[in-house]
Structure 1
Amino acid sequence: MSVYTNRESLLAALTPRRKSKKIGFVPTMGALHQGHLTLVNKALEENDCVVISIFVNPTQFNNTEDLEKYPRDLETDVALLKSLGKNIIIYAPEASDLYGDSITATDYNFQGLEHEMEGKHREGHFNGVGTILNIFFRIIEPDNAYFGEKDFQQLQIVKKLVEIENLPLNIVGVPIVREKSGLALSSRNKRLTETYKKEAVLISKMLKEVKERFASHSISELNRFVKETFDKNDQLALEYFEIANEKTLKTAIKKSKNEKYRAFIAVFAGEIRLIDNMALN
């Protein structure tokens, strides 16, 4: 396993492999957990070598404090990845290696996907995501790139990005990995106190309950049920809960036959923002 911190050395390692090897790519912001390792193992199964990027991307944060506090531990991340096998390449660049002198985001039109859920609450977030991924895709030129379904909206936007940029790669979505409690794995979980971590289990419990009630209750009833439940909890603050069309991500008002729906949620546990989602039908 090799670690590269600039694109020149990375390209020197990748260029000979491109002729005969299938390359997988797993973009991360570090603070790796079992969810990331699941993505890497999936990529290792389907490719000859896998590039893992470790980079906290400034253009996708609209909260400077959140950017500064995002957990970073490259040494631990490298040790975790080393245990997975030899066919791994780590790319951990500085911002200047990717952006040059101007750390700015491209303004994308994701045909409305960017304005739903997260887009309503994190202005410019998906422009930052699209910008950094386009840079990575063009440097690495992977055959396949892997993304977790915990960020389901991001997964749909990445697919649209590949379409917009006409990039020759396959985007693979991988199911959410959860702790035994049901809490979706996230790098932000490392910042939770024991009390908040225990309370945060309510997030996945609510999604499961909504899934069980989906066939027999209206969307407005489910929305009210979730809001009232979080209103009674003095540890967690509900930012949003939405049931949306899985393809368009448009907020659903009422159910239609032959449409797939998914529940999306964002909650603050103190100052830590957690997101989750679940397919409903």
Structure 2
Amino acid sequence: MRLLRTDKLKLVEFQGQDIPPYAILSHTWGEEEVTFEDVLLGHAKSRKGYQKVAGACSQAIRDGFEYIWIDTCCIDKSSSAELSEAINSMFRWYGDAEVCYAFLSDVEDDEDPWTWSSTFRTSRWFTRGWTLQELIAPGVVYFYSAGWKEIGSRDTLLNLIVSITKISPDYFETGDLSQFSAAQKMSWAANRETTRPEDNAYCLLGLFDINLPLLYGEGGRAFQRLQEEILLQTEDDSLFAHNHQDCCSPAGRRNQLRR
């Protein structure tokens, strides 16, 4: 696992049991994100996404963390093997983090998130496929607005988050995914979108404790492979009660079971 030093913007690799305590960032991608190559070449500060990285590092430093994991720059995406390992490990990485910072770039500073007209309620962060696991996997989640103002924690905002996401509040009490059927977990992904159709499936791997090889270019076949793997590991045929045509992205709303 590769982590970013919060004080020096330097990438450090760790193996096995040597991974130190770390914070982790959840966000939606924007223009000119800071990449792995940008950090290696010292170009990070020239990217528009640098302020987001700097804000996350500053918050981690205030919280006493020497390291943080950020998906845009901690994964060498030029390596298909590393990208596959990272996506298959991501749910665990979010779960192992000491704290997750959910940065909502479209939420205004100092607003009341509970008001019906709040930008928190309509944030893009709640519509993306990947942020589902980033909401439920960590033990601790804090939300931040565009100016890195703390909005609240997942615990203090729980009723509002449940209202927005339709995730069962029972999950947040137990943290036990095994108590929920495949159909229930699929329903949590309803109306969430991913940029690539394959990610409709890949972003759900952790929810079902499934590992899959990544085959970008296969389109909807990725979700069919996910379903097949779930059925190999469980007798929970509720999977078909919640058709994926209602889940994730416009492309994903087509019937993925059609062969």
User: What TM-score, normalized by structure 2, do the two folds share?
Assistant: 0.27
CA radius of gyration, larger in: 1
The structure with the largest strand share of the pair is 1
User: What TM-score, normalized by structure 1, do the two folds share?
Assistant: 0.26
